[in-house]
A and B are shown apart, each in its own frame.
Chain A
Amino acid sequence: MDVVMLSRLQFAVTAGFHFIFVPLTLGLSLLVAFMETKYVRTGDEMYLRMTKFWGKLFLINFALGIVTGITLEFQFGMNWAEYSKYVGDIFGAPLAIEATLAFFLESTFIGLWIFGWDKVSKKLHAASIWIVAIAASLSALWILLANGWMQKPVGYVLRNGRAEMVDFGALVTNSYGWSKFFHTVLAGYVVAAFFVMGISAYHLLRRNEITFFKASFRMAATFGLVASLLVFISGDFHAVEVSTTQPTKLAAMEAVWDTQQGAPYNLLAFPDVENERNSVEAISIPKGLSLLAYHDGNAEVKGLKDFPKELRPPVMATFLSFRSMAALGMLFMLLSLIAWLLARRDVLESYPLFLKIMLFAIPLPYLANQVGWIVAEVGRQPWIVYGLLKTSDAVSKAVTPMQVVGSLVGFTLLYGFLAIVDIYLLTKTAKKGPEDGSPIVVKTNNLAGN
């Protein structure tokens, strides 16, 4: 393998690994903030225990998210030096802004939240987890505006042998970045909702701390239902954005080979890449694809054959990833709806099978997030900046294949080890359940079970 493939693989491994932790951080910070707010408002000790129990799980996950995030900032320069030189005038800005606006807030106030239980007032303490939650979303916004620019470059000119920014406003208001932001952040909320519902289900199945876990489940079910509906809606809007800016990605997502007006949607399809056709195409909904992709049943959908082979993304990976993401998204709506109804009628314990399903559903939103990123990034190939710079021209010239092999092995070992530690700690903490019920024992300066 050459430096390009190795560097791509390394970026996929490190970004994908980082994105195991990010979605849960986005969603769980918000849920914990709700819990603590309820505690401050009502004085009900159960909400304090909820804050601490879910907070401890949040912190384990958060720590790993923070440390694996540093890698990404380093990697643009280390492995993608030509990219960084060519687009740094534009791409560097949102990254630096992300650090200045979001990372400082997140890191400072998480410190206050962990150690500040007896140092600041209850209200200020609750405010600090809100600040962490908002900062996490702010961080997502800036990094997705940066990524949005790679997907749909705006506000630049080619000058001095590179892309230079001429309109910061265009970068900040890039519709691609914003629609991706909503879709991504909401997908993170779904991860958190299923995480909390799944762990609650585990304890409810064991009849452990029933009131505590029912309350947790109920809160997460509402959150999950709203989030999974909004993920779907934002995904629909995002799809239109993709179709209009990156016709090759859309064609690969849906395995469309021939350009058609009023293109149908095939509920069942399977691409035969070699022969540039689909080996399976069944249950067609007339005009369905044109409607989905452009919100117009008569719109023209470009087929892959309209583009030279070297400008097409890997069809199979993009297609399968998109299909599984969409299918999972529908499943999440269904499961959240059932969860919400059962929780509302307070009959969760009578449906152990459903609780079991919810327990085993914990990994599914994670999977949906990962395949979503595969659609976004693999689907953009062969471009690193769509229509502007090829991935193969973006890699560092000074780096040798051996160096990247070395770093890739290093990352795989280190991240593999971190994954084991993370799963071990999360499982153990989750199974153990909340600290002792009687509120008097809650140690004041010992949050989150330090």
Chain B
Amino acid sequence: MEFQIIWFILWAVLWAVYFMLDGFDLGVGMLQRFLGRNEAERGAIIRTIGPVWDGNEVWLLTAGGATFAAFPTTYALMFSYLYTALLLILFSLIVRGVSVELRGKEEGATWRSRWETAFFVSSFLPALLFGVAFGNIFQGLPMDADGYHGNLFTLLNPYGLLTGIFFVLLFIMHGALWIGVKTTGDLSKRASGLANKVWYPLLVVAVLFLIDTKFATNLYSNFVGTPVLFVMPLLAVLALLGIKIFAAKGSLLTAFASSCVTILSVTFTGVIGLFPNLIPSSIDPRYSLTIFNSSSSPYTLKIMTGVALVFVPIVIAYQAWNYRVFRKKIDQNEMEQGKAY
């Protein structure tokens, strides 16, 4: 297999895992203020992601670094073309990290309440903007030999916004299920109740997204060309239905697993549709950035493949172990005692 294709797959995996993992952190951030009824509950909600959020975010840094190393031209153009949108994501991620870490470093309701507001905004914005960015990548960016002919507002087109809302709802669902799984008692019940309710608008938006994708993008042409690939969107639909079935039965862990599968398969569906483009041009396909015309040299790709094949499995192993160490739910006792975080 050509190294470009290996790196395309790795690129897809890095983004998909990032969305699966940080997706619930962002969801938790959007819900924390509203789901937690008192200080102990709001602290407990943040505590559910405390030991893991930073490690989850590194998947984004690695996806960014991998884009730089494997597809430098795409990295350069994507980041400079989407300057303002990425700046907003960046500011949000900075504020999000600081909110999680510093909220508990000081006593006092005002201090905490302000960080919680910051936490909400800085979780909502990346969720929305990642969706907007990927919606626009799916459609293609207005770029040609003269460069880029768009700005922040051209990104906010109907399909881009639809994808943004889709991401927001997906992550709220994901975060609600995570809170449901990781807490006990009334808080867990409320979280799963919310997940059950959010599922309906999520379904509506997902269906709209699937339909509009037909009209706004070329994503389906790869699937029509190789129908076996339809397995992926089918999996996404089944997993989305699975969320509701399991959540309604109260088996939250399975519902959360379904939600993980949903996010992975949605990301893979989009990326399969893009292939071999990384960013299509909406003006003329000749100017599209593909894995072939924007990649690093075979030598660099070979070295990076070696690095990835050795170290990514190790990373997965110790991160999985870390999740295992913190597998216990946060119970009532711990909630009162560790009101800290």
Q: Does A297 contact B (CB under 8 A)?
A: no
Contact A398 B80 (CB under 8 A): yes
Q: A96-B304, A115-B326, A398-B148 are in contact. Are A410 and B91 (CB under 8 A)?
A: yes
Contact B299 A450 (CB under 8 A): no
Q: Does B248 contact A (CB under 8 A)?
A: no
Q: Does B340 contact A (CB under 8 A)?
A: yes
Query: Hey, which chain B residues are within 8 Å of A165, CB to CB?
Result: 296-297, 299-300, 303
The smallest beta-carbon distance between A381 and chain B, in angstroms, is: 22
Closest to B302 in A: A168
Contact A85 B76 (CB under 8 A): yes
Contact B72 A108 (CB under 8 A): no
Q: Does B158 contact A (CB under 8 A)?
A: no
Query: Hey, which chain A residues are within 8 Å of B52, CB to CB?
Result: 111
Contact B299 A166 (CB under 8 A): yes
Contact A71 B72 (CB under 8 A): no
Compute how far the CA of A104 lies from the CA of B68 in the bound complex, rounded to whole angstroms.
Answer: 18
Q: Does B70 contact A (CB under 8 A)?
A: yes
Query: Hey, which chain B residues are within 8 Å of A398, CB to CB?
Result: 77, 80-81, 83, 147-148
Query: Hey, which chain B residues are within 8 Å of A73, CB to CB?
Result: 61, 64-65, 68
Residue in contact with B98 in the complex, picked from A63, A87, A95, A160, CB distance below 8 Å: A63
How many contacts A-B (CB < 8 Å)? 224
Q: Does A396 contact B (CB under 8 A)?
A: yes
Contact A100 B297 (CB under 8 A): no
Which one of B31-39, B252-260, B317-325 is at the interface? B317-325
Query: Hey, which chain B residues are within 8 Å of A348, CB to CB?
Result: none
Contact A96 B69 (CB under 8 A): yes
Contact A108 B69 (CB under 8 A): no
Q: A95-B68, A445-B334 are in contact. Are A81 and B51 (CB under 8 A)?
A: no
Contact A67 B65 (CB under 8 A): no
Compute how far the CA of A403 lies from the CA of B274 in the bound complex, rounded to whole angstroms.
Answer: 29
Contact A119 B326 (CB under 8 A): yes
Q: Does B307 contact A (CB under 8 A)?
A: yes
Q: Does A92 contact B (CB under 8 A)?
A: yes
Query: Hey, which chain B residues are within 8 Å of A410, CB to CB?
Result: 87, 91
Contact B54 A100 (CB under 8 A): no
The smallest beta-carbon distance between B100 and chain A, in angstroms, is: 8
Residue in contact with A119 in the complex, picked from B77, B90, B325, CB distance below 8 Å: B325
Query: Hey, which chain B residues are within 8 Å of A442, CB to CB?
Result: none
Residue in contact with B58 in the complex, picked from A104, A418, A428, CB distance below 8 Å: A104
Q: Does B94 contact A (CB under 8 A)?
A: yes
The smallest beta-carbon distance between B255 and chain A, in angstroms, is: 25
Compute how far the CA of A278 lies from the CA of B132 in the bound complex, rounded to whole angstroms.
Answer: 57
Q: A74-B79, A84-B76 are in contact. Are A111 and B68 (CB under 8 A)?
A: no
Closest to A73 in B: B64
Query: Hey, which chain B residues are within 8 Å of A232, CB to CB?
Result: none
Query: Hey, which chain B residues are within 8 Å of A120, CB to CB?
Result: 325
Compute how far the CA of A59 lies from the CA of B84 in the bound complex, rounded to whole angstroms.
Answer: 30
Closest to A157 in B: B297
Query: Hey, which chain B residues are within 8 Å of A446, CB to CB?
Result: 337-338, 340
Query: Hey, which chain B residues are within 8 Å of A418, CB to CB?
Result: 94, 98
Contact B94 A107 (CB under 8 A): no
Near A by CB (< 8 A), chain B positions 275-315 give: 296-297, 299-300, 303-304, 307-308, 311-312, 315
Compute how far the CA of A345 lies from the CA of B319 in the bound complex, rounded to whole angstroms.
Answer: 47
Q: A81-B76, A108-B55, A114-B51 are in contact. Are A100 and B299 (CB under 8 A)?
A: no
Task: Indicate with 1 or 0, residue by residue over B73-99, a CB within 8 angstroms of chain A CB atoms.
Answer: 101111111011011001101110110
Residue in contact with A164 in the complex, picked from B69, B97, B104, B299, CB distance below 8 Å: B299
Task: Indicate with 1 or 0, residue by residue over A146-170, a CB within 8 angstroms of chain B CB atoms.
Answer: 0000000000000110001110100
Contact B62 A104 (CB under 8 A): yes
Contact A67 B98 (CB under 8 A): yes
Query: Hey, which chain A residues are within 8 Å of B51, CB to CB?
Result: 111-112, 114-116
Q: Does B66 contact A (CB under 8 A)?
A: yes
Query: Hey, which chain A residues are within 8 Å of B66, CB to CB?
Result: 96
* Chain B interface, number of residues (Cβ within 8 angstroms): 65
Residue in contact with B72 in the complex, picked from A92, A105, A168, A425, CB distance below 8 Å: A92
Compute how far the CA of A159 lies from the CA of B104 in the bound complex, rounded to whole angstroms.
Answer: 53
Compute how far the CA of A60 lies from the CA of B97 in the bound complex, rounded to whole angstroms.
Answer: 11
Compute how far the CA of A84 lies from the CA of B97 in the bound complex, rounded to whole angstroms.
Answer: 27
Contact B307 A97 (CB under 8 A): yes
Q: Does B106 contact A (CB under 8 A)?
A: yes
Compute how far the CA of A64 lies from the CA of B98 in the bound complex, rounded to whole angstroms.
Answer: 7
Compute how far the CA of A101 lies from the CA of B97 in the bound complex, rounded to whole angstroms.
Answer: 21
Q: Does B231 contact A (CB under 8 A)?
A: no
Q: A92-B296, A164-B300, A446-B337 are in contact. Are A111 and B65 (CB under 8 A)?
A: no
Contact B322 A112 (CB under 8 A): yes
Most buried by B among A103, A105, A114: A103
Q: Does A76 contact B (CB under 8 A)?
A: yes
The smallest beta-carbon distance between A290 and chain B, in angstroms, is: 40
Closest to B303 in A: A168
Q: A78-B86, A100-B62 are in contact. Are A115 and B55 (CB under 8 A)?
A: no
A-B contact pairs, 15 of them (CB 8 A): A77-B75, A78-B83, A78-B86, A79-B80, A85-B76, A95-B68, A98-B65, A100-B308, A104-B318, A107-B57, A110-B54, A115-B50, A159-B297, A407-B84, A445-B337
List the interface of chain A (C-beta within 8 A of B): 56, 59-60, 63-64, 66-68, 70-71, 73-74, 76-85, 87-93, 95-101, 103-105, 107-108, 110-112, 114-116, 119-120, 159-160, 164-166, 168, 396-399, 403, 406-407, 410, 414, 418, 421, 425, 428-429, 443, 445-446, 449-450
Question: Nearest 3 CB-CB pairs, A to B?
Answer: A88-B72, A77-B79, A450-B340
List the interface of chain B (C-beta within 8 A of A): 47, 50-55, 57-58, 61-62, 64-66, 68-70, 72-73, 75-81, 83-84, 86-87, 90-91, 93-95, 97-98, 101-102, 104-106, 147-148, 296-297, 299-300, 303-304, 307-308, 311-312, 315, 318-319, 322, 325-326, 334, 337-338, 340-341
